[in-house]
Chains A and B, each alone.
Chain A
Amino acid sequence: MTTTPQHLAGNGRTATGDHPAIRFDGVVKNYLAHGETVAAVKRTDMEIAQGEFFSLLGPSGCGKTTTMRMIAGFEEPTAGKVYLDGRDVTGVTPNRRDINMVFQSYALFPHLNVFQNVAFGLERKKVARDEIRRRVGEILEIVSLSGMDKRAPREMSGGQQQRVALARALVNRPRALLLDEPLGALDLKLRQQMQVELKRIQREVGITFVYVTHDQGEALTMSDRIAVMNAGVIEQLGSPREIYEKPASRFVAGFIGTSNIVDGHVERIEGGLALLNYSTQDRVVCPVPGAVRRGDKLEVSVRPEKIDLHRGVPPVTATGGSVLSGIVNEVVYHGTSTNYTVATAAGADFTVFDQNAANADDLADRGDRVYLTWAPQHSYLIGV
């Protein structure tokens, strides 16, 4: 909708380039609660690159918000160091960090109008009045709020307040922008709209975004990289595709999308494929690294959309892949797909997504005996 003014792309100052925007070096955060030490964030090393859209994803209480607040300076690490742009900022107060934050509840100043809210940071930095007016005008245009300068926050919708919060942070051209579940309070439609909008704005201004969310869908669609956190530990850090296709732990597999996970002992290894047998006809085939031996216990995950569901005995030889028989427990029609829950011979309940593409008929009904098959490459060994 608008072209980005030249000086808003990038940082104003030239980013040094060789330094990551944010670096955690052995950061630990402990709290004292009721006389006991609770680890909010366990020893963490991570780097967030310049201009990256980086998400901290995890359930509530996983340490993602604490991690973000340590970047902002609202919390100090118990041990370790935080670097911004290569500079050690451990112990530096938030007002002296070149970083701005979009708060979950927006935290707009209720006694100030939109212009005054957005100009707050620039005024503290003693930017000249004319320049403040120009920069606030530009940023309000970027977030599509032109002409709303005089509005009070309480006269605006949630989506508009959200944009004011975003503008208030971005107008300062920070080294990085921290967003704490910024879309949590919006309804679904507006949220999806703002996801696209946020991505666009991030591309336009080229600032590093650190996005905290518990919504895996949001993280997958928006991020360049995601750190999946659980119980104070980053369980996996990678691109959305890596995290979805190759979950590093059972937690990640379960938290990101839906995963079917089966345990089993290796019966045989042939050409890099491990065979897990559950009966003469029920088996799981999974590619494994060389270190895996016969008899090892493995956890194998497979995504619901990779599985074919057959009512009759499947053509066993067709794939040379995994076959599990089971009973259909649940059939849920979703419009574009039908979801089946199948109690399998491997002991675990499987979820299967079947696209309602060609035939409108459901493949099976509750109580039907079915066979699930999938190709070897769709089995993924967790934790490798």
Chain B
Amino acid sequence: MSRLKRTIAPYLLVLPGGIWLIVFFAIPMITMLSLSLQEGDIVNGYTFTGHWQTYVDALDDYRTQLIRSLIYGAIATIILIALAFPMAYWIAFYGGRRKATYLFLVLLPFFVSFVLRTISWRQILTDDGPVLSPLKSAGLVPESFHILGTPTAVIFGLVYNFLPFMVLPIYVALERIDPRVVEAARDLYADPATAFRKVVFPLALPGVFAGVLMTFVPTSSDYVNSTVLGGTDTTMIGQVIQAQYLANSDYPTASALSFVLMAVLLIGVFAYAKVLGTEDVMKVAAR
């Protein structure tokens, strides 16, 4: 009896989460896959054809937006690493007893809704807003200068909104580095820069890796920032999917694009993991 209990106990523990995944992940995925293989329109209804033509058409029509999204995501991710690493480094090594406070400050914007925060940036970056109007009246930038509606504004918004997702994993990795290990490097004739390059940075890599996963995937599929801060020529793939689904009710195209985006991101992530040698990275992380 008790042996039986012990055998089934692990499965019982998995059950709630398993059911959740089946209901809210597997079923929608299957539904979406089926949708993407249907043809028709909202008035006459959709019928399952099993044709992959929708994928071909969707890729043809929206290749620009897909590539643009990946480029925006990549640029935002690179800027995020450049911004978050020094922040995380400073908090981890110089934060002292205030570490928790600084981390809280990093998270503080999250207490305001994502969309609302982005909209408030729209107010700040608008042509006669508090940033541009003083610059323009001082003659530092030309009257015709805009930020809103440009790729810069969209990438800026992406960076701003996803900063904590890069700071936190890098912070965790840095925080776990034994300061004595850094001292050992200094003791073994490494100057501060070499100690950083040879010891601190390699040990922080698992954090950077996690941070990239947590920012590149959502930034390249984001639609809020380009909707709120962008213009007509900054449309990202997320916006297209949203428009196809909600505005045009073209469910097959929306579903097909979603699958394409997912596939591209998965391939990207696996390639990235391969190049970085995640196995080693993960081993260090698991230490």
* Given A124-B194, A154-B287: A109 touches B181 (CB 8 Å cut-off): yes
B181 touches A107 (CB 8 A): yes
Chain B residues in 8 Å Cβ range of A96: 189
CB-CB < 8 A to B203: which residues of A? 110-111
Q: In the complex, what residues of B have CB within 8 A of residue A251's CB?
A: none
Q: Is the Cβ of B184 less than 8 Å from the Cβ of A103?
A: yes
Known: A107-B178, A110-B287. A124 touches B189 (CB 8 A): yes
Interface centre among A95, A96, A105, A168 (most CB of B within 10 A): A95
Is A95 touching B202 in the complex (CB atoms < 8 A)?
no
Contact check: which of B186, B191, B199, B283 meets A109 at CB < 8 Å? Answer: B199
Q: Which parts of A102-142 form the interface with B (CB within 8 Å)? A: 103-105, 107-111, 120-121, 124-125
Contact residues in A for B283 (Cβ distance below 8 Å):
152
Contact, CB under 8 Å: B181 / A94: no
Task: Point out the residue from B178, B187, B202 that lies within 8 Å of A94, measured CB to CB.
Answer: B187
CB–CB A95/B191 < 8 A: yes
B23 within 8 A of A: no
Expressed in whole angstroms, the minimum distance between the Cβ of B196 and any Cβ of chain A is: 13
The yes or no answer to A72 lying at the interface (CB within 8 A) is: yes
Known: A107-B181, A109-B199, A110-B181. A95 touches B287 (CB 8 A): no
Complex contact A168–B181 (CB within 8 A): no
The residue among B187, B190, B198, B203 with the most chain A CB atoms within 10 A of its own CB is: B187
Give the interface size class of chain A: 20 to 34
Q: Is A101 an interface residue (CB 8 A)?
A: yes
In the bound complex, CA of A125 to CA of B180 (Å): 21
Q: A109-B199, A110-B284, A111-B203 are in contact. Are A124 and B183 (CB under 8 A)?
A: no
Q: Is the interface of B mostly helix, strand, loop or mixed?
A: helix
Per-residue contact bits, chain B 160-204, to A (CB 8 Å; 1 contact, 0 not): 000000000000000000101101111111110010001100110
A162 interface residue per 8 A CB criterion: no
Inter-chain contact A94/B180, CB cutoff 8 Å:
no
Rounded to whole Å, the gap between the CB of B171 and the closest CB of chain A is: 18
Residues of A within 8 A of B280 (CB): 111
Q: Residue B188 contacts which of A104, A110, A111, A168 (CB distance < 8 angstroms)?
A: A168
Interface string of A207-250 (1 = CB under 8 A from B): 00000000000000000000000000000000000000000000
Residues of A within 8 A of B181 (CB): 107-110
Beta-carbon contact of B199 and A95 below 8 Å: no
Which residues of the other chain, B, contact A93 by a CB distance below 8 angstroms? 186, 191
Contacts of B183 in A (CB 8 A): 74, 94, 101, 103, 107
Q: What B residues does A101 contact at CB under 8 A?
A: 183-184, 187
- Shortest distance between the CB of B192 and any CB in chain A (Å): 8
A86 to B241 CA separation, bound complex (whole angstroms): 75
B284 to chain A, nearest CB (A): 5
User: In the bound complex, how far is the Cα of B203 from the Cα of A94, in angstroms?
Assistant: 21
Asked whether A100 is an interface residue with its Cβ less than 8 Å from the other chain, the reply is: yes
What residues of chain A lie closer than 8 Å to B198, measured between beta carbons? 120
> Contacting A121 at CB < 8 Å: which of B178, B189, B284?
B189
Total interface residues in chain B, CB < 8 Å: 21
Query: Which one of B178, B180, B190, B202 contacts A124 once the chains associate, using CB atoms below 8 Å?
Result: B190
B194 contacts A105, CB within 8 Å? no
Residues of A within 8 A of B191 (CB): 93, 95
* A109, A152, A154: the one within 8 Å of B185 (CB): A109
What chain B residues lie within 8 Å of A111 (beta carbons)? 199, 202-203, 280, 284
Q: A111-B202, A111-B203 are in contact. Are A100 and B180 (CB under 8 A)?
A: no
B186 contact set on A, CB distance < 8 A: 74, 93-95
- Once bound together, how far apart are the Cα atoms of A330 and B248, in whole Å? 94
User: Are A105 and B287 in touch, CB under 8 angstroms?
Assistant: no
Residues of chain A within 8 A (CB-CB) of B185 are: 109, 120
- Set of chain B residues within 8 Å of A172, measured between Cβ atoms: 188-189
Q: How far is the CB of A308 from chain B (nearest CB, A)?
A: 50
Considering the complex, which residues of chain A in the window 257-274 have a beta carbon less than 8 Å from any beta carbon of chain B?
A: none
Residues A107 and B180 in contact in the complex (CB < 8 Å), given A124-B194, A154-B287: yes
**Could you say which of A108, A111, A152 has the most chain B C-beta atoms within 10 Å of its C-beta?**
A111
Q: How far is the CA of A117 from the CA of B35 in the complex (A)?
A: 56
Interface residues of A in 19-71 (CB under 8 A from B): none
B184 touches A95 (CB 8 A): no
- Complex: how many Å from CA A367 to CA B206? 67
Closest-by-CB residue of B relative to A174 is B187
A74 to B185, CA, bound (A): 12
Distance to closest chain B CB from A188 (angstroms): 24
Central interface residue in A105, A120, A172, by most chain B CB within 10 Å:
A120
Alpha-carbon distance between A106 and B269 when the two chains are bound, in angstroms: 36
Query: Which residues B246-287 have CB closer than 8 A to chain A?
Result: 280, 283-284, 287
By a CB distance below 8 angstroms, the chain B residues around A105 are 178, 180
Contacts of A104 in B (CB 8 A): 180
Identify which of A72, A110, A125 contacts B187 (C-beta below 8 A): A72
Contacts of B109-144 to chain A: CB distance below 8 A: none
Q: How far is the CB of A336 from chain B (nearest CB, A)?
A: 39
Nearest Cβ on chain B to A135's Cβ, whole angstroms: 14
Q: How near does chain B come to A108, taking the closest CB pair, in angstroms?
A: 8
A94: B residues at CB distance < 8 A: 183, 186-187
Residues of B within 8 A of A121 (CB): 188-189
Q: How far is the CA of A125 from the CA of B190 in the complex (A)?
A: 9
Decide yes or no: A95 and B190 within 8 Å by CB, A101-B184, A110-B284 being known contacts: yes
By a CB distance below 8 angstroms, the chain B residues around A74 are 183, 186-187
Residue of B183, B184, B186, B190 most packed against chain A (CB within 10 A): B184
Chain A to chain B: the 5 pairs with minimum beta-carbon distance, closest first: A121-B188, A107-B180, A124-B189, A107-B184, A94-B186
Q: Interface on B for A, CB 8 Å cutoff?
A: 178, 180-181, 183-191, 194, 198-199, 202-203, 280, 283-284, 287
Known A95-B186, A105-B180, A108-B184; further 4 A-B contacts with Cβ < 8 A: A95-B187, A100-B187, A107-B178, A169-B188
Give me 6 A-to-B residue pairs in the complex whose CB atoms sit less than 8 angstroms apart, sorted by A's number: A95-B186, A101-B183, A101-B187, A109-B185, A169-B188, A172-B189
